[in-house]
Amino acid sequence: MLRALLTLPRPLNCLITFASVLLGGWLAVPTLPPSLLLAACSAALLTGGGNALNDLCDLETDRINKPERPLPSGRVSPLLVRLEAIVLLILGLLAGFFLPPSAVAIAWIAVCGLILYNIRLKRVPLLGNFLVSLLGSLAFLYGGTAVQAPYPATIPAIFALFYHLGREILKDVEDTQGDPSGSTLALRWGKRNARMLATAIFSLLILITPLPVYLGFYGTPYLALVFLLNLLLVYILRTLWQHPARLPHLNQLLKIGMVLGLSAIFFDRL
């Protein structure tokens, strides 16, 4: 049961959020001050709490789509998951309590957004996808506001918004079989239209990611790594249309793409 409780918050997602916050602050202040480390811990805890809450609200869907997860498999009870989500969210807010007011505001916006998404907007096509993507992009701004310099974090935040939005839409396509309400974007608009929208979003992202180089914000290391990221996205889009049954595998590749994106900006600033 302990292993299930540790797995439920999705440690890899929490680690990516932790790194995103650090990068968002480090772009402005190339050090790791205590406020930035505190913000990164806060964001990781909030992400873990949000993931636990998501699994709780997705229990019926996951019994069909992902029965191996801790909650639908019966390895942990809904009561424990509810307690874990509450504890992680509260700890995340407490960890960010001593940050600048703008960062505290972002933490509260994130918690309210997570609750609103899971309880109300999860089944609202596109709006729910956009909200959870916006919350993902806030990690960079959280780091920037923690060191009171949010502007350098704006570019990765914008890119993250597009990236998360495309990924969230593809996750909807993947989960259509277990959706009891038929209210996700993929079921309302059709799987093909959802794939077309995700393709358009990722294609736009491929086009705009080199722009910071031409505008003088980033240099050659960024361009080289973002080129690899774009090659990965091209492969994912090609496979999405030629072999749509491989969508679960493609969603895993998109996590690798997140690491590539973070690395592109990090190594450019070394």
Each residue's pLDDT tens digit, 157-208:
999 999 999 999 998 888 766 555 556 777 778 889 999 999 999 999 999 9
Q: Judging by beta carbons within 10 Å of its beta carbon (0-12, 13-18, 19+), is residue 218 exposed, middle or buried?
A: buried
Q: Judging by beta carbons within 10 Å of its beta carbon (0-12, 13-18, 19+), is residue 101 exposed, middle or buried?
A: exposed
Round to whole Å and give the CA distance between 206 and 129: 20
Q: What is the CATH number of the domain that holds 204?
A: 1.10.600
Q: Taking each helix axis from N to C terminus, what angle separates 11-26 and 154-174, rounded to the nearest 10 degrees?
A: 160
Segment 20-45 shows an average pLDDT of: 96
What is the pLDDT at residue 180?
52
Q: Which of 8-12, 89-93, 262-266 has the lowest mean pLDDT?
A: 8-12
Residue among 174, 176, 189 nearest 240 (CA): 174
Whether the full predicted model's pTM is greater than 0.85, yes or no, is yes
Residue among 174, 169, 109, 106 nearest 140 (CA): 106
DSSP code at position 270: -
Segment 91-118 shows an average pLDDT of: 95
Say which residues have a Cβ less than 8 Å from residue 252's Cβ, sequence separation at least 6.
none
Round to whole Å and give the CA distance between 84 and 153: 31
Residue among 72, 268, 23 nearest 178 (CA): 72
Kindly report the number of other CB atoms within 10 A of residue 211's CB atom: 11
Amino acid found at 128? G
What is the pLDDT at residue 87?
96
Q: Which of 1-10, 44-53, 102-111, 150-159 has the lowest mean pLDDT?
A: 1-10
Q: Judging by beta carbons within 10 Å of its beta carbon (0-12, 13-18, 19+), is residue 74 exposed, middle or buried?
A: exposed
What is the pLDDT at residue 181?
54
Q: Token pair of 235, please?
A: 């492969």
Alpha-helical regions (H) of 27-126 = 34-57, 59-65, 78-95, 101-116
More confident: 119 or 232 = 232
C-beta separation of 185 from 143 below 8 A? no
User: Is 80 exceeded by the pLDDT of residue 80?
Assistant: yes
Number of independent structural domains in the chain: 1
Complete DSSP assignment for 120-153: IITTSTTHHHHHHHHHHHHHHHHHHHHTT--GGG
Amino acid found at 3? R
What is the pLDDT at residue 21?
98
Q: Token pair of 29, please?
A: 């202040």
The domain of 41 spans 2-269
